Amino acid sequence: MEPIRETYILLPPGTDFLMYLVLVPFALVFVFGVVYRLRRLGVRSVGELLNSVFRGVGYMARYGLLQRKVVSEHLAGVMHLLIYTGIIALFIGTTLVFIDHDILRVLGLRLLRGDFYLGFEFVLDVMGVAFLLGLALLIYRRFIRHEPRLRNRLEYSMALAGLLFIGLSGYVLEAIRLTVEPRPWSGYSFVGKAVSTAFFVNLPTEPLTLLYRGIWWSHAVVAFAMVAVLPYSPLGHIFSTLLNIAVNAPRQLPLGKMKTPFRIDELDPSADIKLGFRSLAELGWMEKLGLDACTDCGRCEAACPAHAAGTPLSPRDIMQKLRRQLWRSDGLDEDVFASGLIDEEEVWACTTCSACIEACPVLIRPMDYILEMRRALTLEGKLDKRKTAMLTNLSRYGNPYGFDQSEKQKFFEELAEMGVQTLEEKPDAEYVYWIGCASIYDARGREIAKSVAKILLKAGVSFAVLGVEETCTGDPARRIGEEGRFQELALQNIETLKQKSVKKIIVNCPHCFNTLKKEYRDFGLELEVKHHSQV
């Protein structure tokens, strides 16, 4: 007797037709949900979506399908990998059964037969065990270990219950089938065989058959319902995260870099300047997709130093509040600040360190949303006295602290006494050592700069300094949301560096490093920038 897949065994004739009839309303609910979500996001056409996805297929494979960042946390990574691979394997298995029974069988062909079928049964049992182990780890983390960052909501528990029922009922169905209709190859379905031996082997056939039919239909209906609610439930992140990775990863800026919304030197004086957003209607569909992809995993919150310090900021809360606003019927046009959804203090608490971006397993950039809201507030002049004073200092003194030019002159005289020359004195220097405001004006920072200069001199590195011509890179202005002030300082520095034909720079300030290396490129300056630890 050749091993072969016997689909709809123990079920009345016509069950396959009835099952597809029952499936129709669930499928319609699913399709409606997908269309609604895409329209809500603002996707103009399927072609536009597919073109964006194709550009990011490699990212989707690396970070979505292979879970490259998800597995960086060992317990959570193993849990997610088991559930994820289990679902994929069971979906592939169901698809093969459909092809075998509803397409090939009609043509007089069979796929699930012989050794291939035996391997199919064994692999599905293995992957089903992996799936249930993943769910067990999820239960352990949420309800036994009570990991602080994991929130228990009704919709999360319902999704877990549905998945658990599908996994367990599948093995019960397999066990009953092997009890009522034993086959010589039943050992390949080793889990079902074990359950059959433990619970059903001595029970009468007729009640087992009735039990099988009841569980089979409940299994099918729950599975259909889980698929139907995908666009409306937390499980929708299965698709939204993959789409976000494919669509947004190829266009992501380097870590630490902010978007340049305009070029002040190319701006039409009569043009209206629009910066940031106060309502979700002002976001493009790709930015809305980033909100929708947030899984509420809390990794960004755990990595955020501002949150750890007790400030009002939680990147996770920001993303989740904006995500819920996205799906409210009147949420798109509502002002996120005026409505009380987002508190201004949350936005100002961000240190712009990019830890949330680095931590996110699905490549969402919470900091970008925070900074764009900050830009909107700054454009409207909603700055306290300290922020206003800092911007004034940048314009008047070329540093955020408000120190006079004489302080800068004094420090460079101290460097000169150590043997450090200016670029005017040493025009053939290979590197310019960019000191940075903190190292010029802060007492401890000065000692760091002097130590770096001493090491460079001792190592024989060919370098010089700009001296009093060095001014703030503008990073504090850009981070606070004042793009115009930043660009004024940036263009001033770029002109100085180009006039002096500077090609290589050494810095010890991480802010200057990021700005000179990444931000200034948008304004036509390409430099080799090295941190002093890299020289």
Q: Is the pLDDT of residue 269 over 80?
A: no
* 466 touches 432 (CB < 8 A): yes
Place of tokens 């130590």: 451
Residue 462 within a domain: yes
Residue 177 has phi, psi (to 5 degrees) of -60, -45
Neighbouring-strand partners of residue 4 = 113
Q: Are residue 91 and residue 221 in the same domain, yes or no? A: yes
Q: Are residue 65 and residue 201 in the same domain, yes or no? A: yes
Domain count, the chain: 3
Give the pLDDT confidence score for residue 65 in this predicted structure.
Answer: 87
Place of tokens 């006295």: 385
Give the pLDDT confidence score for residue 85 in this predicted structure.
Answer: 93
Here the tokens at position 196 are: 């059959």
Q: Give mean pLDDT, residues 207-229.
A: 96
* 315 touches 301 (CB < 8 A): yes
Short-list 221, 359, 377, CA closest to 295: 359
Q: Give mean pLDDT, residues 337-354.
A: 95
Residue 361 within a domain: yes
Note the Cα 260 to chain centre separation in Å.
21
Instruction: For 385-438, give the DSSP string.
Output: HHHHHHHHHHHHHSSTT---HHHHHHHHHHHHHTTPPBTTT-TT-SEEEE--HH
Q: Are residue 163 and residue 119 in the same domain, yes or no? A: yes
Residue 267 within a domain: no
What is the C-alpha to C-alpha distance for residues 135 and 137, in angstroms, rounded to an integer?
A: 5
Q: Give mean pLDDT, residues 237-242.
A: 91
pLDDT digits (tens, 9 = 90+) for 298-345: 999 999 999 999 999 999 999 999 999 999 988 899 999 999 999 999
Question: CB neighbours of 447 closer than 8 A, spacing ≥ 6?
Answer: none
Give the pLDDT confidence score for residue 268 in this predicted structure.
Answer: 80
- 3-state DSSP helix/strand/coil % of the chain, to nearest 5: 65, 5, 30
Assign 234 a pLDDT band (cuts: 50, 70, 90). confident
Short-list 513, 506, 523, CA closest to 462: 506
Here the tokens at position 474 are: 């503008």
Give the pLDDT confidence score for residue 25 in this predicted structure.
Answer: 97
Q: Are residue 377 and residue 409 in the same domain, yes or no? A: no
Q: Are residue 121 and residue 21 in the same domain, yes or no? A: yes
Last residue of a domain, one of 330, 358, 382: 382
Q: Are residue 375 and residue 458 in the same domain, yes or no? A: no
Residue 259 within a domain: no
Question: CB neighbours of 476 closer than 8 A, spacing ≥ 6?
Answer: 390, 394, 400, 511
Last residue of a domain, one of 326, 358, 382: 382
Question: CB neighbours of 32 closer than 8 A, spacing ≥ 6?
Answer: none
What is the C-alpha to C-alpha distance for residues 165 and 54, in angstroms, rounded to an integer?
A: 35
Q: Are residue 127 and residue 184 in the same domain, yes or no? A: yes
Residue 34 within a domain: yes
Identify the CATH number of the domain in which residue 108 sits: 1.20.950
Q: Nearest-5° angle of CA 244, CA 249, CA 252?
A: 120
Note the Cα 425 to chain centre separation in Å.
49
Q: Are residue 281 and residue 163 in the same domain, yes or no? A: no
Residue 431 within a domain: yes
pLDDT digits (tens, 9 = 90+) for 55-74: 999 999 999 988 899 988 88
Share of the chain above pLDDT 70, in %: 100
Q: Give mean pLDDT, residues 426-454.
A: 95
Q: Give mean pLDDT, residues 434-446.
A: 94
Give the pLDDT confidence score for residue 304 in this predicted structure.
Answer: 97
Assign 270 a pLDDT band (cuts: 50, 70, 90). confident
Q: Nearest-5° angle of CA 525, CA 527, CA 529?
A: 140
Residue 428 within a domain: yes
Q: Is the pLDDT of residue 154 over 80?
A: yes
Amino acid at 157: S
Q: Are residue 49 and residue 152 in the same domain, yes or no? A: yes
Identify the CATH number of the domain in which residue 301 sits: 1.10.1060.10
Here the tokens at position 56 are: 């990011």
Here the tokens at position 379 are: 């454009």
What is the C-alpha to C-alpha distance for residues 103 and 298, in angstroms, rounded to an integer?
A: 45
Identify the CATH number of the domain in which residue 452 sits: 3.40.50
Assign 267 a pLDDT band (cuts: 50, 70, 90). confident
The overall average pLDDT reported for the chain is: 94
pLDDT digits (tens, 9 = 90+) for 93-151: 999 999 999 999 999 999 999 999 999 999 999 999 999 999 999 999 999 999 888 88
Q: Are residue 410 and residue 376 in the same domain, yes or no? A: no
Give the pLDDT confidence score for residue 329 in this predicted structure.
Answer: 84
Whole-Å CA distances, 436 to 469, 504, 511: 12, 16, 9
Q: Are residue 310 and residue 214 in the same domain, yes or no? A: no
What is the C-alpha to C-alpha distance for residues 110 and 106, in angstroms, rounded to an integer?
A: 9
Last residue of a domain, one of 236, 258, 292: 236
Give the pLDDT confidence score for residue 300 in this predicted structure.
Answer: 96
> b/e per residue, 132-150, with b = 16+ CB within 10 A?
bbbbebbeebbeeeeeeeb
Assign 40 a pLDDT band (cuts: 50, 70, 90). very high
Domain of residue 419: give its range: 398-534
pLDDT digits (tens, 9 = 90+) for 477-513: 999 999 999 999 999 999 999 999 999 999 999 999 9
Q: Are residue 150 and residue 40 in the same domain, yes or no? A: yes
Give the pLDDT confidence score for residue 190 in this predicted structure.
Answer: 95
Neighbour count for residue 267 (Cβ, 10 Å): 12
Give the pLDDT confidence score for residue 535 in this predicted structure.
Answer: 86
Give the pLDDT confidence score for residue 348 in this predicted structure.
Answer: 96
